[in-house]
Amino acid sequence: MALTDEAIDKIKEMITSGRLRPGEKLPREADLAAELGLSRNSLREAVKALSMINVLDVRQGDGTYATSLAPSLLLEALSFIVDFHRDDTVLEFLEVRRILEPAATALAATRMTDQGRKELGETLASADVKSPIEDFVAADLEFHRKIALGAGNSVLASLIDNMSVPTRRARLWRGVTEPRAQERTLAEHTAIYDAIISRDADLARSSAIVHIAGIESWLRTALTD
């Protein structure tokens, strides 16, 4: 089990056992990490993940609180994690993306309009490693959508769009649990963008394969854990 997932499980146990009640403030980070036998970094990433799905409320300058949801609703929110780890179908969507997107990216390298290239660059620049994960994933989805549209085939663009949306939850989870995931995504997006700008179809295809295969490899490991 990944360290972040272990930390999440320990915080979940605090809530479900009644050790941490809805609306109650968590102990100081150093104290809680010591109590749970976790590194402060793992605890910090777990808090970030749980705040994303509204299980915890991080109040700047005040501390972190369990949300004031009823216990049944807290458990429903926590099922996000369980459902993710049981959802093998998202791998099938990624397999289809690995088939379709490299071809679309190669077409975009030769067919995308100058305006399309400009907008793609703007989308790439719209998020960075400091962006909130929800904003980063939205920019990620838009980046891939613009490439699909730039391929100049409406059927292919529609297929890719339909394949991307079901993987949104996996992208969110990767962003909060995998170290340097956003940096890696930005680097891979930049390589794809540079190939499209250079009108190099072969390099664009190869860069897209590397990008999608990396996501798929991470997801297979996450689901196995």
Tens of pLDDT, residue by residue over 7-21, are 777 887 787 677 777
Tell me the C-alpha to C-alpha distance, in Å, between residue 101 and each of 105, 158, 192. Answer: 6, 12, 11
pLDDT of 121 over the 80 cut: yes
pLDDT of 134 over the 70 cut: yes
Give the pLDDT of residue 175.
76
pTM of the shown model: 0.65
Domain count within the chain:
2
Domain that holds residue 77: 3-84
Looking at residue 138, which CATH number applies to its domain? 1.20.120.530
> Do 96 and 107 belong to one domain?
yes
Average pLDDT, the chain: 83
pLDDT of 188 over the 60 cut: yes
pLDDT of 176 over the 90 cut: no
> Do 25 and 108 belong to one domain?
no
- Range in 5-14, 40-49, 200-209, 214-223 the model is least confident about: 5-14
pLDDT in tens, 57-71: 888 888 888 876 555
Residue the block writes with tokens 């891939």: 144
Among candidate residues 85, 77, 36, the one with its CA nearest the CA of residue 223: 85
> Do 171 and 212 belong to one domain?
yes
Q: Specify the higher pLDDT residue, 151 or 6.
A: 151
Q: What's 20's DSSP letter?
A: S
Q: Where are the beta strands (DSSP E) in 17-145?
A: 56-59, 63-66
Length of the chain: 225
Q: Quickly state the pLDDT bin for 1 (edges 50, 70, 90).
A: very low
Give the pLDDT of residue 70.
57
Looking at residue 79, which CATH number applies to its domain? 1.10.10.10
Q: Are 160 and 84 in contact (CB under 8 A)?
A: no
pLDDT in tens, 82-100: 454 455 677 888 888 899 9
Give the pLDDT of residue 113.
97
Give the pLDDT of residue 196.
98
Mean pLDDT score, 143-172 = 86
> Do 76 and 107 belong to one domain?
no
> Do 157 and 60 belong to one domain?
no
Please tell me the number of Cα atoms within 13 Å of 142 on its side-chain side: 16
pLDDT of 144 over the 90 cut: yes
> Do 181 and 217 belong to one domain?
yes
